[in-house]
Structure 1
Amino acid sequence: MNWEQLLSLKRFGDTNKRIRKEQDETRLGFEVDYDRVIFSSEFRSLQDKTQVIPLSQTDFVHTRLTHSLEVSVVGRSLGRLVGQKVLEKYPHLQNVHGYQANDFGAIVAAAALAHDIGNPPFGHSGEKAVGEYFKNGIGRKFKEQLTAKEYQDLCDFEGNANGFKILTESRAGREGGLRLSYATLGAFMKYPKESLPKKPTKHIADKKYGFFQSEKDAFIDVANELGLLKRSQSDISFSRHPLAFLVEAADDICYTIIDFEDGINLGLIQEEFALEYLINLVRDSINTKKYHQLQSMQDRVSYLRALAINTLINEVVNVFMTNEDAILKGEFSHALLDKSKYEAQINDIIKISIEKVYQSKEVIEKEIAGYRVLSELLNVFIGAVNNTYKNNASNYDKLILHLLPENNSVACDSLYVRILSVCRIVANMSDSYAILLFNKIKGINIA
């Protein structure tokens, strides 16, 4: 792979190549990507979607929206630092083509901002709840009517693939979705493969999948434009865009450190115990005198969190540049933090978060409720859509259809597209709206 091609400014529908030197420096194409994501309705719904603590009423716990904003900030720093070093290594990118270090930062920031845009309500359990409906629930009846890959898309419903659908799906008046640059789409695609074969290797890019069968052509178009390397001759699988490693690292840094911080602030992790783990990560950079002047727990945690994030940003940049040649050849198969000298400290923090936060009673109870809510919504909406398509909709089905957006795929001949359309609608709901709709459908709390 080569950087000039990887930094493509092309957008869906472009007939001519976009030249970096011809860009308006006051409104760079990569920065437009960020704006388009942040003004999208799908991004706004993240303000009421679970990050760690579902439906938390406290004012300092992160939602998907605040998490995404923080990941984009970390991603921008990573991109700029890497961009500076890449331009030093390949000066023609700047001297001949006009690329700047901030271009890298803008690409990673936009992709990082969108990284959770396809996630359903109720955190990662929401993805599992959708998949469970098709794997072991009522949706299992559709297995024989779909191809193996279509059915696998549903059984392992993936927020990353749904995000790619949101960013690229055409509809009337909105051809090419948000029409992001191909460079940003490439950086967004952490798992550039289809749902089958499932985890064929231990390569980090094979951990999950990155697009539904309905977006296969769009994905191939982006991959070919960027010059991503094919990893399979029989199935659709490509090497990652190099900047996707930075998007992943930004996400890993934020959820590792900030989810841990949330656990401390909620009292799920004891302060003395937690601070020791953070100090182990920043021992080389901590100002002991300043630290001991801090009076409140929040201030102490905030100070250590800032140091930890800065430490890991610098470490990620070093790991990326050390392996840049292998990354361009598609030969680097790990998450960047997995090759960090702080791997042991990171794993210690994640282990505590799993035990004390992710498996806390509050989280588990509300995830259980999420399973019930999403299963019921899928069942009612899919039933109404399919009955309408078959011209045998009941009066109840007709009422239910009024709850769906106007741009749904009720009339589509493809069963797969109809079902996936419902999954996308449900996935775009906020936690509170999904519960509100569930209660209305079940006749609960109706005055």
Structure 2
Amino acid sequence: MSEAFDSQNLVGEKFSPSTDTHRSVFQQDYDRLLFSTPVRRLADKTQVWPMEENDGVRTRLTHSHEVANLARSIGARAFKGAREAFRQHGCNDDSLAEIINPLSLSIGLGHDLGNPPFGHQGEVAIGLWFERRKDWIFTHTKDGGDLLPTPVPETHWPEFIEFDGNPQSLRLLTRLQTHIDGLGLDLSAATLAAGLKYPVSYLNRNKDKPVRKKGGYFESEKDLVEWIRKNTGLEEGQRHPLTWIMEACDDIAYSVLDVDDVLKKGIMSPDDVLIILRQKFKSGDIVGKIQEKFMDVESRLFSPEMQRDIKIEYLRAYLIEGLIEHASKKFIENAAAIFNFTLVEPLMDSSPLCEELKTIAQQNAFNNSSVLRMEALGSAAIDDLMTALWEAISFRKKFEDIRSKRLGARAKYVFSLISPNYIEQADKPKNPTEVASGLRYRELRLLTDMVSGMTDTYAMRLWKDIKVMPDANCA
């Protein structure tokens, strides 16, 4: 992988653009991400509305592109407003185009790649599957079976019981993509570092500290994180400066744009949102501007449908601009703390507007009956799929050989569907941590690799497919 940073150079490139492509290493990183298979699969992964038929409503792909765009906008404002802080860490006048913009785009585009189908509920379903089997799956060959030669250390159990898409993103980009030298997408250390929203292992989580509240990488990628830190100078718990921006952009998207989808589906009207904001914020600057635009729209001879669409556009534009301004201002004000790794509070936590919009989205999107119904179906699908996949992985002739003959017809069929490069990673681990953790740890990684990589449609189709097959021999 490209060694793009050193300990004195957190956000500055020490390599010149390629003489062939005239691109910086970070522009190359963004291009590799943009054209990658995992990014394309986001088009069929849930943002809020599972299996949504309205093509105007966001998928995880459109969400990720919007987060990337927001990150570029805020990154540019932050760079210009805190130029001296960036300059002290290796940036010059060309850095906005060659470093900050492509880095911001990359981490925005890649931040959700590890999410399983059916959104957050998919993460919960994966964790529950392991929780229900924790009495044996980490320690024994099967339920009621013999003790494993190398049980999964109890310190590693939360990686599965509390499965999270963030560390899976790092694994997907670096381990699971085919590469002649096994380097995944071969991204720079800085791009990978900036994508670590939670720069700690599961062992070092601290739910009282926002930056440490979740595990940001699995033990299987511990050696990779050590390489990232060697080349960036970052240490455990230290967040890359641009990660604060990516987190803020995700918050903005989850607030404004999830509400935008509620409006697109006709669950609320833009006037409903304005009424709520007026009650909460009286006649604030943003609310006042929105109200003026709405009155202007109503004074024109537009049809009600056109009025509604125009109001939605104004509402989205003014709210996004207000939140971008807030995030940019907070980054600039806290630049010293960000670069010194002492900032504690996420940039958008101090925005009452962002919090109110999240509340509106929660009440009208996440708690919508159609969303809850599809989440319930998705949870059932993931549970059954993991059971079938575990049978396919574990029900084989030779325990010590993960590629050995499957012992059941359904196991043979389902195993044939598992990605060959995923199996290769489980069979021949490239790092000492996975070797030391034992075969069962790699089997469970293979299970989560496969299910988290599925799209919504593929998961539902495979679920219906295997439901008609007998599940004898299933653990």
- TM-score tier after normalising by the smaller chain length: 0.7 to 0.9
Indicate if the aligned counterparts of 1:84 and 1:101 stay in contact, CA closer than 8 A. no
Q: Give the AA of the match of 2:156.
A: E
Q: Which residue of 2 aligns with 1:297?
A: 308
Q: 1:109 to 1:95 in 2, by over 3 A?
A: closer
Selected match of 2:137 from 142, 153, 158? 142
Distance in 2, matches of 1:220 and 1:276, equals 51
Whether 1:399 aligns to 2:413 is: yes
Whether 1:333 aligns to 2:333 is: no
Q: Give the AA of the match of 1:119.
A: N
Report the aligned-residue RMSD. Answer: 2.6
TM-score (norm 1): 0.87
Indicate if the aligned counterparts of 1:115 and 1:160 stay in contact, CA closer than 8 A. yes
Q: Which moved more, 1:149-158 or 1:270-279?
A: 270-279
Selected match of 1:381 from 386, 389, 392? 389
Q: Which residue of 1 aligns with 2:211?
A: 205
Q: Which residue of 1 aligns with 2:145?
A: none
Whether 1:105 aligns to 2:101 is: yes
Deviation at 1:149, TM superposition (A): 3.0
Q: 1:3 to 1:266 in 2, by over 3 A?
A: farther
Q: Which residue of 1 aligns with 2:380?
A: 372
What's the CA shift string for 1:198-226, capped at 9, x where partnerless?
Answer: 4x252211121111110011012112321
Q: Which residue of 2 aligns with 1:196?
A: 203
Deviation at 1:420, TM superposition (A): 0.9
Deviation at 1:278, TM superposition (A): 5.4
Q: Which residue of 1 aligns with 2:322?
A: 311
Q: Give the AA of the match of 2:96.
A: Q
Indicate if the aligned counterparts of 1:190 and 1:210 stay in contact, CA closer than 8 A. yes
Q: 1:285 to 1:174 in 2, by over 3 A?
A: farther
TM-score (norm 2): 0.82
Q: Which residue of 1 aligns with 2:435?
A: none
Q: 1:291 to 1:141 in 2, by over 3 A?
A: farther
Aligned pairs for 1:44-443 within 5 A: 44-89=40-85, 91=87, 99-100=95-96, 103-136=99-132, 138=133, 141-144=136-139, 145-169=151-175, 173=180, 175-198=182-205, 200-229=206-235, 237-277=236-276, 280=281, 282-283=286-287, 285-286=289-290, 288-289=292-293, 292-293=296-297, 295-339=306-350, 343-388=351-396, 389-390=398-399, 393-409=407-423, 411=427, 414-443=439-468
Indicate if the aligned counterparts of 2:297 and 2:310 stay in contact, CA closer than 8 A. no
Q: 1:93 to 1:207 in 2, by over 3 A?
A: closer
Q: Give the AA of the match of 1:143.
A: F
Q: 1:289 to 1:191 in 2, by over 3 A?
A: closer
Deviation at 1:30, TM superposition (A): 1.1
Q: Which runs of 5+ in 2 are unaligned?
A: 140-150, 299-305, 429-437, 470-475
Q: Secondary structure at the match of 1:307?
A: helix
Indicate if the aligned counterparts of 1:83 and 1:101 stay in contact, CA closer than 8 A. no
- Higher Rg of the two aligned structures: 2
Q: Give the AA of the match of 1:305.
A: R
Aligned length: 424
What's the CA shift string for 1:210-251, capped at 9, x where partnerless?
Answer: 11110011012112321114xxxxxxx321111100000111
Distance in 2, matches of 1:65 and 1:324, equals 30
Q: Give the AA of the match of 1:186.
A: A
Q: Give the AA of the match of 1:142.
A: I
Give aligned-pair identity as a percent.
29
Q: Which runs of 5+ in 1 are unaligned?
A: 10-17, 230-236
Deviation at 1:58, TM superposition (A): 1.2
